[in-house]
């Protein structure tokens, strides 16, 4: 079979793949990226899987396939796709950062740090890589380093909202004393300072998902500051860290309902070092159905980060007052035991 016929067959296969929608591979890729950006990860996965079958050298398609799989929590497959993209695009920082995120989600802190450091070395001026390295440092308990990395990310891109969230969160962790009975006045001051960091985000007034995320965090930290106000006022109560439930004695109001509480995973490093103990998380169950979580007590080797990640995946029905959903704060515990 001559070369011309092989080319014809190849074009025929591509036409069969995209003929139903009269799409070329490039228009299909554009549509897939748009689906990814809109949050339709399953739709994006379907398109990019077709693309990589017809062109196994398309690194861009492999990257967005892996990124979509990561967003869809298919971590094992995402790692394969992103590794392929990294091999095809050796100078592109995105698949390396994606591999770091996958390792982070799997609790493989050493692997995540390796990929994040590689991404920063590949492009020190990439704000997302600096942010990612800071996120790993935060989860590893190195809060001052995390703050510095967030500062670098903000300097590189003042409109990068995740860096503000990281800096605010790490500043709280860096200041808070992880004890069972923290000082309420001191705790409130840490949340107030974190709110000031978030309020410096230049796009705070914009109607974008990033701005909404920053506003949500401000609302959450404001609720925590108010919570410690109440704790200070009832210091003599038997358990000052148990938030009162106004629905408890009122038949016209409904309690907070926790529908599911995912388990927190051990990290490899924590298991190797035989770390065990209990992490207490201060959780805001928002009236809008969102979770904001901050640790009260912590454990090393990424366990605090795993507890926070699990807490943020709790499914719940908000407490109701006078028939309307209201926000409430609770303390949630995660136990890590070596068997």
Residues of the chain with pLDDT under 70: 1-23, 176-182, 235-252, 339
pLDDT at 96: 96
Nearest to 230 by CA among 329, 297, 324, 325: 329
Q: Are strands 328-336 and 319-321 parallel, antiparallel or unpaired?
A: unpaired
Cα 26 from Cα 59, distance rounded (Å)? 13
What pTM did the predictor assign? Answer: 0.71
List pLDDT tens digits, range 1-43. 454 444 344 434 444 444 444 568 788 889 989 999 888 999 9
pLDDT at 170: 92
DSSP labels for 166-211?
Answer: HHHHHHHHHH----SS--HHHHHHHHHHHHHHHHT-TTTTS-SHHH
C-alpha to C-alpha distance for 66 and 56, rounded to whole angstroms: 14
Residues paired with 330 in a beta bridge: 283
Q: What pLDDT score does 269 carry?
A: 86
Phi-psi region of 289 (alpha: psi -120 to 50; beta: other; left: phi over 0): left
Distance CA 334, CA 307 (A): 6
Q: Residue 308: which residues within 8 A CB-CB, separation 6 or more?
A: 281, 293, 294, 295
pLDDT at 200: 95
Contacts of 184-188 with C-beta under 8 Å, sequence gap 24+, read: 184/228, 184/229, 184/231, 184/232, 184/235, 184/240, 185/228, 185/232, 187/224, 187/228, 187/231, 188/225, 188/228, 188/229, 188/232
Q: 285 has which bridge partners? A: 291, 328
pLDDT of residue 297: 83
Cα 38 to Cα 31, 33, 35, 142, distances in angstroms: 11, 9, 5, 34
Tokens at 19, concatenated: 């003929």
pLDDT 10s digits, 131-164: 999 999 988 888 899 999 999 999 999 999 999 9
Helices and strands counted in the chain (H then E):
14, 7
CA distance 50 to 58: 11
CA–CA separation, 315 vs 310, rounded Å?
11
pLDDT at 151: 96
Torsions phi, psi of 190, nearest 5?
-65, -40
pLDDT score of 299: 86
Report CA-CA distances (Å) from 118 to 97, 123, 177: 9, 9, 33
* Secondary structure (3-state) at 33: helix
């Amino acid at each position: 079979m001559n070369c011309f016929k092989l080319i014809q067959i190849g074009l025929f296969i591509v036409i069969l793949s995209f003929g139903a929608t009269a799409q070329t591979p490039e228009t299909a890729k554009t549509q897939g990226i748009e689906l990814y950006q809109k949050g339709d990860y399953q739709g994006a996965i379907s398109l990019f899987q077709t693309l990589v079958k017809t062109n196994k050298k398309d690194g861009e398609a492999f990257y967005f396939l892996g990124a979509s799989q990561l967003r869809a929590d298919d971590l094992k497959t995402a790692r394969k796709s992103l590794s392929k993209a990294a091999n095809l695009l050796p100078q592109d920082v995105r698949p390396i950062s994606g591999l770091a995120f996958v390792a982070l989600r799997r609790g493989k802190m050493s692997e995540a740090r390796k990929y994040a450091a590689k991404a920063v070395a590949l492009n020190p001026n990439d704000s997302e890589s600096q942010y990612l390295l800071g996120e790993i440092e935060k989860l590893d308990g190195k809060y001052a380093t995390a703050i510095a990395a967030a500062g670098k990310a903000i300097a590189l891109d003042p409109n990068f909202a995740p860096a503000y969230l990281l800096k605010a969160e790490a500043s709280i962790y860096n200041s808070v004393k992880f004890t069972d009975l923290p000082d309420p006045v001191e705790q409130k001051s840490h949340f107030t300072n974190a709110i000031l960091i978030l309020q410096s985000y230049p796009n705070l007034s914009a109607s974008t998902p990033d701005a909404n995320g920053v506003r949500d965090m401000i609302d959450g930290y404001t609720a925590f500051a108010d919570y410690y106000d109440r704790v200070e006022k009832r210091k003599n109560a038997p358990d000052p860290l148990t938030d009162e439930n106004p629905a408890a004695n009122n038949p016209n109001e409904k309690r907070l309902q926790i529908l599911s509480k995912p388990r927190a995973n051990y990290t490899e490093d924590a298991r190797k070092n035989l770390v065990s103990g209990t992490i207490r998380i201060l959780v805001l169950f928002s009236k809008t159905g969102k979770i904001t979580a901050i640790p009260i007590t912590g454990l090393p080797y990424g366990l605090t980060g795993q507890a926070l990640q699990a807490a943020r995946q709790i499914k719940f029905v908000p407490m109701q007052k006078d028939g309307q959903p209201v926000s409430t704060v609770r303390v949630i515990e995660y136990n890590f035991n070596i068997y």
